[in-house]
Structure 1
Amino acid sequence: MPEASSQNERNIRLRKEYLYLKKVEEEKKKYVEKIKSIKKSYDENKKIKGDLKDEERELRKKMDLYDEKSYNRNLDDEYFFCGIENPRVLITTSRNPSSQLESFAKEMKLLIPNSEKINRGSYFIKDIINFARKNNITDVIIIHEYKGIPRNLIICHLPFGPTLFCTIKDCKMRHEFLDQINNISTCNPHLIFHNFNSDLGKRIMNIFKFLFPPVKMRINKRRFPKNKKQISILNNRRHQGVRKNEEEDEEEEGEDNDENDLTISIKNNEYYNMQKFENNRVIIFFNKNDIIYFRHYNWETNEKNEIVLNEVGPRFSFVVYKINKETLDSLNEDYEYVYRPFLNSKRALLS
């Protein structure tokens, strides 16, 4: 018991420290935005905003010391160390799930490598989060339904947050496709994110991006002579290799070379990189009017050496309606973003 209580006290202390650092980071961002606004007004010779007139004298002193690279370093970001180790994802559902929700959860497990699905049973969310922390789980995904249709998706990053809430729309699972589709590969997919340009869009992009491990890529490097535009390659199997073309030895090489020798030109005179990806799997997150469309493809090349996409499924779209700074077991009204349907904004928030 004393060990458990000390562990709980330590977790509470770490969570408070994390929330304090996030608060300091937000205040720093607001201060940087003020400096950028003052600097832009001076550079473009425009009028300073009315709410910054009282602070203009202090901000002008810091304006010359402003460095965008130093201020934009997210040292306290929750995903700063992602990529060192592969993420471990835990997938579960709401209580008493229907067969449709169970099949959707299984397809989500196939989508995300290094993920495991567990039955919810009668466990509370707090028990699931504690279990995930003890087993070094990085993210917990909980899927809810409405009348047998997957309707809500929650992604909770551990150990301290954030937690993303989104609504699932137009869900079409693999067994609902009329055409015959291929099996889902278990290799790490390539990720394509389109139109996530704002700070909120980049935040949402990171939450989804770090659910997947990085793609393994095999690179074969062949070294070629510098400052030489042409090299000769022998077709004979006994003599497989590369020989230099030198002006001094043109006569000797002319005697040795056969008629079947090939001559190719190299743009990069130092190295020629042969990149071979170990998979042909692509996942796309396409943002349009703050609605994120999810697509899953396998690609292959045809006879004309053109890339052809074959949809594998599932297919759905979702709308992010809330991002909380904390985890599911300790939610407070400390939101980074809340969707409001009557928000007076002409532009999209994610793009």
Structure 2
Amino acid sequence: MATIGQLTSHIANKQVRNEKYAQLKHKQKKDQKKERIKRQREAAAAESQGLAPPPRKVQKTLENTRAWDETRIQPDDAENAADIAEDEFASYFNRQETPKVLLTTCYKPSKLMFELLAELLDVLPVAYYYKRQGYSVKKVAEYASNRGFTNLIVLNENRKEVNGLLLVHLPHGPTAQFRLSNLKLARDIKGHARATHHKPEVIMNNFDTVIGQRVGRLLASLFSQDSAFKGRQVATFHNQRDFIFFRHHRYLFEEKKGKLAAKEPVGARLQEIGPRFTLRLRSLQAGVFDKAGEVEWKKKASLKATRREFAL
């Protein structure tokens, strides 16, 4: 269905076009109001008769109207199941390999970077911080691989603002480069909880395409599969419109006290621990980091791209 802008874009005269646009917009609002009142009356009538209300209209969003993507994974895709059974992360998901992460920074880290490092070490009990000491990423990756590390994380900053994250799976890759934004440390989160050294549970949401699945498995390989449920800590990577939102929570169970305690169910809620940040994939490279290496995927500006096309 054509939009009001599309219906009026052919009018050359700007004043006439604006008047026509205003008329159509006014008519659209009146029709929407009539439809809303009709739905409210039908719902009230059904409630008075003890019937189920009519189904609500599904609101259109960028997610449920996304463009068709042939790389989206179907649940019964046998070929994809065979591929992931032999990929670089198979030994981790088969519990044949225990994650061990080397965490480092750019050459001259700021105070903010060290505060973030301290909180990431709480999120990743299997991580160890090493000072960069002027070595190139390729040298650091070689050093980490020789000492049994399974992943390398390099944090970058510009003008004392953390703005990038490089993640390398060792010893054979892949390498993912992310833009990091919207960083909030625990001290900036009101009512935050304190982290413990328990291994957190991991939740991965909406990594639906082939590239998304590889990125999701790469991020999941940072965490131990033997989660310490006693700690009740959860690390979540939620992908929405190719933005990956990271959150670190503890879930709490609250029992009602008093005379009504037996009748009231046990309540559950989340308390954020921190840090929180957003990742945006810039590139995915086959193998260990190399400026001349094979690129599996790279974000490119395209005139044909629409807001409803997503890579992950």
How high is the TM-score relative to the length of structure 1? 0.60
Q: Deviations over 1:187-230 (max 9, x none)?
A: 1211112211111111110010111001347xxxxxxxxxxxxx
Residues of 2 paired with 1:138 and 1:318: CA distance? 21
1:308 shift after superposition: 0.7
Describe the SS at the equivalent of 1:73.
helix
Q: Contact between 2:192 and 2:272, CA under 8 Å: does it hold in 1?
A: yes
1:321 aligns with 2:273: no
Q: Contact between 2:101 and 2:152, CA under 8 Å: does it hold in 1?
A: yes
User: Which amino acid letter does the alignment assign opposite residue 339 of structure 1?
Assistant: K
Q: Contact between 2:286 and 2:293, CA under 8 Å: does it hold in 1?
A: no
1:112 shift after superposition: 1.0
Q: Deviations over 1:289-341 (max 9, x none)?
A: 1111111100011124121100011011110010000212x442411110113
Residues of 2 paired with 1:323 and 1:214: CA distance? 24
Describe the SS at the equivalent of 2:300.
coil
- State the structure with more CA Rg: 1
Q: Contact between 2:122 and 2:197, CA under 8 Å: does it hold in 1?
A: yes
Partner of residue 342 from structure 1, selected from 273, 279, 302? 302
Q: Contact between 2:102 and 2:144, CA under 8 Å: does it hold in 1?
A: yes
Q: Contact between 2:201 and 2:227, CA under 8 Å: does it hold in 1?
A: no
Q: Contact between 1:298 and 1:312, CA under 8 Å: does it hold in 2?
A: yes
Root mean square deviation, CA, Å: 2.0
Q: Contact between 1:200 and 1:349, CA under 8 Å: does it hold in 2?
A: no
Describe the SS at the equivalent of 1:278.
helix
Partner of residue 142 from structure 1, selected from 148, 154, 157? 154
Equivalent residues in 2 for 1:239-254, closer than 5 Å: none
Describe the SS at the equivalent of 1:206.
helix
Residues of 2 paired with 1:150 and 1:191: CA distance? 24
Moved more, 120-129 or 288-297: 120-129
1:203 aligns with 2:163: no
Q: Deviations over 1:137-188 (max 9, x none)?
A: 00000000011111000000111110000001110111222x3422112112
* Runs (4+) off by over 6 Å: none
Residues of 1 paired with 2:207 and 2:79: CA distance? 23
Describe the SS at the equivalent of 2:215.
helix
Q: Contact between 1:298 and 1:311, CA under 8 Å: does it hold in 2?
A: yes
Q: Deviations over 1:236-288 (max 9, x none)?
A: xxxxxxxxxxxxxxxxxxxxxxxxxxxxxxxxxxxxxxxxx333011111111
In structure 2, list runs of 5 or more residues that go unmatched.
1-69, 71-75, 256-264
Residues of 2 paired with 1:117 and 1:201: CA distance? 28
User: Which amino acid letter does the alignment assign opposite residue 79 of structure 1?
Assistant: F
Equivalent residues in 2 for 1:113-192, closer than 5 Å: 113-177=125-189, 179-192=190-203
Residues of 2 paired with 1:306 and 1:215: CA distance? 26
Residues of 2 paired with 1:141 and 1:151: CA distance? 13
Partner of residue 69 from structure 1, selected from 78, 85, 104? 78
Over 3 Å counting, the alpha-carbon distance change for 1:337 and 1:305 in structure 2 is same
Which residue does the alignment assign to 2:272?
311
Which residue does the alignment assign to 1:290?
242
Describe the SS at the equivalent of 2:82.
coil
Over 3 Å counting, the alpha-carbon distance change for 1:79 and 1:143 in structure 2 is same
Describe the SS at the equivalent of 1:301.
strand
Q: Contact between 1:189 and 1:280, CA under 8 Å: does it hold in 2?
A: yes
Q: Contact between 2:232 and 2:251, CA under 8 Å: does it hold in 1?
A: yes
Describe the SS at the equivalent of 2:91.
coil
Q: Deviations over 1:23-62 (max 9, x none)?
A: xxxxxxxxxx9xxxxxxxxxxxxxxxxxxxxxxxxxxxxx
1:81 aligns with 2:33: no
Describe the SS at the equivalent of 2:99.
coil
Q: Share of identical aligned residues, percent?
A: 25
Partner of residue 279 from structure 1, selected from 215, 228, 231? 231
Residues of 2 paired with 1:208 and 1:70: CA distance? 22
Over 3 Å counting, the alpha-carbon distance change for 1:199 and 1:161 in structure 2 is same
In structure 1, list runs of 5 or more residues that go unmatched.
1-32, 34-66, 218-276
How high is the TM-score relative to the length of structure 2? 0.67
Which residue does the alignment assign to 1:102?
114
User: Which amino acid letter does the alignment assign opposite residue 134 of structure 1?
Assistant: N
Describe the SS at the equivalent of 2:133.
coil
Over 3 Å counting, the alpha-carbon distance change for 1:152 and 1:71 in structure 2 is closer
Describe the SS at the equivalent of 1:154.
strand
